[in-house]
Chains A and B, each alone.
Chain A
Amino acid sequence: MILEARDIWFYYPGRKHAPVLRDVALSLCSGERVGLKAPSGRGKTTLCRLLAGYERPRGGDILLNGRPLSAYRGVCPVQMVWQHPETVVDPLLRLGATLAEAGPIETRLMDALHIQAGWLERYPAELSGGELQRFCIARALHPATRFLLCDEMTAMLDLVTQAQIWDFLLEEARRRDLGLLVVSHSDALLERVCSRVQTLA
């Protein structure tokens, strides 16, 4: 499988004169690990949102195996782990209920990410940012996921936990032949995790 962004143009409503992305191209194959690097405000998160189908580009195409991403129904094969996990879980639902929406999660994933069963009884506000992020990673690793976009995924975690999560994720990606897009400001991380790094101009 291949996820491609072709000649992407994007601007936020009312800001046509200042596009966030202009003529951006990127491709990601199954099993490939690509890093994405750019100074703040250059559209890294926006590109991830476009690639995961949260937004539609104003120009250009997002293609999955040559078909527009918007043509895929059901669980999207491209999932994203956000920089701020508290925005992607409904504050009024217990985490167990949020998790149940996407189907049951393997205990193997729960164990590897050190997610305690008790967390599922809680509301998002009752978990720390790091705990919530591990929960979001587990959810994004749905059986149907083929590409995972990690937007500053481990920025709020301590170094030991970061290392544990990346070890696990790389192993999981190898096992399931996932394509990873890793957005980070950390050169060390990108160097360790990715096979190539693309910079947004």
Chain B
Amino acid sequence: MRTSNRRRSTLSFLLAAAAALAVVTVVGILLTETAMETDFSRTGLPPSLDALFGTDWMGRDMFARTLSGLSLSIRIGLLTAAISAAVALALGIVSAVCGGLVDAAISWCIDLVMGIPHILLVMLISIACGRGFTGVVMGVALSHWTSLARVVRGEVIQLRQAPYILTAQKLGVSRAGIVRRHLLPHLLPQFLTGLVLLFPHAILHEASVTFLGFGLSSERPAIGAILSESMRYLTTGKWWLALFPGLSLVLVVMLFALLGDRLRRLLDPASVHG
């Protein structure tokens, strides 16, 4: 009885969190135009009922800017996490199935990428790809696949020796059939939670790199760009320029992290102790 209730509450939390993130994403897209509009008759207003998050030095509405920035962050997060996860899945499976030299080479790459601090790697790749949207997406995507690839590799190595997989081979099931029918379904829980837990990292690193000036261009209302610009105005007492965007970014990241954690409890209960 107790477990079924926890399952239900976990499910409803999952759905609510996903819905909240979807609403933020859609509203943010709709508000992109508003976020760019300047109104020099109302610059630097503190938060009020009229402008919930205040306005900046060019009279732009910070509420609209924050939401469209979050929306951009979430979309970039989704895209990069999806690319990362696809790379991780492919390399993890290839590494485990081929073994030998291929495995050694891929494991070496994983160690190499893991050995370099993420933020530095994201910056370098972003610069190499010409910054901007492509730069950030490539940078974050190509630096975040390693841990998931390791998980997938380990999982596949263990599964390959499972008697039911060996028996399927003995009965003439092809290699592709084994991967599709036996490997992927068993990998799915680990993979899905890994994928969702990639989002918060991806979003934070996108914002950090943009903040440092190596990511998205400053015209785009990205959270990183908003925070970076607001730094100049903080000393003049305009606290709302950084507080609300920063806080909302933290909230979205925490929501994704909680989502991943709940998803893991739901899909892979054995791995969660206590």
Residues of A within 8 A of B (CB): 52-54, 74-76, 79-80, 82, 87-93, 97, 101-102, 139, 142, 144
Contact = CB atoms under 8 A, between A and B. Distances in A.
Contact of A89 (B164, B166, B181): B164
B170 A87 contact: no
Interface of B: 162-168, 170-173, 177, 181-182, 185-186
Contacts of B162: 87
B163 A87 contact: yes
**Nearest 6 Cβ contacts at the A-B interface:** A75-B172, A102-B171, A87-B163, A76-B170, A88-B167, A74-B172
A142 B171 contact: yes
A133 to B, nearest CB: 14
Nearest to B173: A101
Contact of B163 (A79, A88, A92, A93): A88
18 contacts: A53-B170, A54-B166, A54-B170, A74-B172, A75-B172, A80-B170, A88-B164, A88-B167, A90-B164, A91-B164, A93-B181, A93-B182, A93-B185, A101-B168, A101-B171, A101-B181, A102-B172, A139-B171
Given A87-B163, A87-B164, A88-B163, A75 B185 contact: no
A102 to B, nearest CB: 4
A129 to B, nearest CB: 15
Contacts of B171: 75-76, 79, 101-102, 139, 142
A88 B167 CA distance: 6
A87 B159 CA distance: 12
Contacts of B163: 54, 82, 87-88
Contacts of B186: 92
A79 B170 contact: yes
Contacts of B185: 92-93
Contacts of B168: 90, 101
